[in-house]
Amino acid sequence: MKPNSTNSYKNTSEPAEPGLRIAPVEETDFQTLTAWITAEFPYFKTDPNHYRKRMLDKPIETYKLEKNARMIGYIEIEYLTPDVARINGLGVEPDKRNNGYGTHLIHFALQRLNTPEITTVLLLVHPKNQIAKRMYAKHGFTFKRMFDQTISGEIVEEWQKHPHARARPAKKT
């Protein structure tokens, strides 16, 4: 279930770096967005019309990261059940990677999903994508299982985070 507008988060976020902004994707962004998705995730064939229909038919939110009013990244959140959400995709332009922009997007998504209703946040990651796995681990995600479906003929990992779980105290020896 999507959070409603009475929650304490904002739909637009201004990250600390000047000129950066996270905002909902607009229809005028679909061409750029679908080109990125197809390039990053070749198994997911899409075009602007398919993406528009998908966003209308499913409980999906997509946000863009802009730098100086130009889209340089995105994140997609899908609400699978009233208490489980999945980050379906996160992408940053190749020449903008390793600058913390993926972290900005993860922080935003986790802030967005920090509601009493959402108890689990899932994501899928390719086993060889060590950079992404390190970033997800830094944000509290842990390996859950090998995903029960292949994506583009490859097995992927499912990771999870429980936003409201409290850290366990260290065992005394």
Query: Tell me, what's the pLDDT at 31?
Result: 85
For residue 134, count CB atoms less than 10 angstroms from its CB and return exposed for 0-12, middle for 13-18, buried for 19 or more.
exposed
pLDDT digits (tens, 9 = 90+) for 95-136: 998 899 999 999 999 999 999 999 999 999 888 889 999 999
Query: Tell me, what's the pLDDT at 9?
Result: 34
DSSP 7: S
For the chain, the domains span: 20-161
Query: Tell me, what's the pLDDT at 16?
Result: 65
Neighbours of 133 (CB within 10 A): 17
Strand order through the sheet with 142-151: 20-24, 60-67, 70-81, 84-92, 120-125, 154-161, 142-151
20-161 CATH fold: Aminopeptidase (3.40.630)
Instruction: Using alpha carbons, select from 77, 72, 84 the residue that is nearest to residue 17.
Output: 72
Structural element, H or E, at residue 97 = none
Cα→Cα distances 169→144, 149, 160, 172, Å: 21, 36, 20, 9
CB-based contacts of 22, cutoff 8 Å, min separation 6: 12, 13, 14, 15, 63, 64, 65, 66, 104, 105, 108
Query: Tell me, what's the pLDDT at 57?
Result: 78
pLDDT-derived band at 167, boundaries 50, 70, 90: low
- What is the value of pTM for the model shown? 0.81
pLDDT digits (tens, 9 = 90+) for 23-78: 999 888 888 888 887 777 766 667 777 777 877 778 999 999 999 999 999 999 99
Query: Tell me, what's the pLDDT at 92?
Result: 92
